[in-house]
Amino acid sequence: MSNSILESTSGESTAMSADKPVSVTVMSMQQALNRALDEVLAENPKAVIFGEDCGRLGGVFRITDGLQARHGAQRVFDTPLAESGILGMSVGLAMAGFHPIPEVQFDGFAYPAINQIVCQIARMNYRSRGTMPMPITLRVPSFGGIRAPEHHGESLEALFAHVPGLKVVSPSNPHEAYHLLKYAATRPDPVIFMEPKSRYWQKGEVDFAADGDAPTGSKVMREGRHLTLVAWGAMVSRCLQVAELAAEDGIDIEVLDLRWLKPIDAAGLAASVRKTRRAVVVHEAPLTSGLGAEVAQLITQSCFDTLKAPVERVTGFDVPYPSGDLEDEYIPNIDRILFGIQRVLEYKRG
């Protein structure tokens, strides 16, 4: 891999252990995703990256910045403004033995491609009895928080997770973004990789040598005793903020990053809630038929005898995802999450 990524990354440091050197770098999620893609292209000659402005410009969020210069215009290239065509081309490339890594520029632009995603990408392996796998990693800048106009902020996880044949994952920080994307790009199945665009500029440590940290299942981001906050994507950082505030009042909150939204880590979810005996699920999507309903059902199914209160959901509202000037009213904020925690902690059985 070229050193140019490392040279442009601020705050890099290498920590030495007794056994071997461990490279720990402070970088943004954007930089972590860029490095993961750089390494995937270097390691897999069949990997190709494409999408609107992904080539010379490096993407609207610069996730693919510099990749065309390093790996060539045949492996990192621009496409027309046609999401259905981008995903249709992905099907053909996968059938020809490539590992396509397409990008939909904004989550709201994925709607024109739903037919290709649901009717072709998700089903081709089944339709062909396993002779035509679809190793496609679809990157989707997702959720709100950047004050963008309409159709530039959506929460489509429930739509994708409902479709058999698709896997769905969302990272919450730079470390998770790097390892989850590298893992997703080696899967033989189609993976919808939902990147929380409001966290692209969040910086954090990335341990590139964390081989033991398998990027499968959920992950406890903060240990706690009194209640489990379940979240994914950008809401994980917000829940960690809430947990710190709750600790000032003596409330010990566990924060569980679901990471994989399809398949959901039911065992990890149950293990956390069995310990705390209470749960609040937080997501940006609307309440009705949101993924939080599935999470709540899994918790109830596994932990019914130990739960001290019904599972609470703190979510967006049942309205179209608003444009930027109303985002603060729509996205679950710290106060709304704290009120949800309070309702669960104060619940009394009749």
pLDDT at position 349: 81
pLDDT at position 150: 83
CA gap 179, 161 in Å, rounded = 21
End-to-end CA distance of the chain: 62
Beta bridge partners of 27: 204
pLDDT at position 86: 97
Taking the whole predicted model, whether its pTM rises above 0.85 is answered as yes
pLDDT at position 22: 56
**CA dist list (Å): 342 to 121, 257, 305:** 43, 21, 21
Strand 191-196 and strand 167-169: the pairing is parallel
pLDDT at position 293: 98
- Positive or negative, the CA dihedral 342, 259, 153, 199 is positive
pLDDT at position 211: 60
**CA dist list (Å): 64 to 88, 199, 216, 300:** 21, 16, 24, 41
- Spans of the chain below 70 pLDDT: 1-22, 211-213, 350
pLDDT at position 210: 76
Q: Spot the catalytic one: 99, 152, 179, 226.
A: 152
Q: Which domains does the chain have, with CATH numbers?
A: 4-207 (3.40.50.970), 219-345 (3.40.50.920)
pLDDT at position 350: 65
Whether residue 226 contacts residue 242, with contact meaning beta carbons closer than 8 Å, is answered with: no
pLDDT at position 148: 86
Amino acid in position 327: E
pLDDT at position 317: 96
Angle between helices 334-345 and 234-247 (to 10 degrees): 60
Whether residue 209 contacts residue 202, with contact meaning beta carbons closer than 8 Å, is answered with: no
151 is a catalytic site residue: no
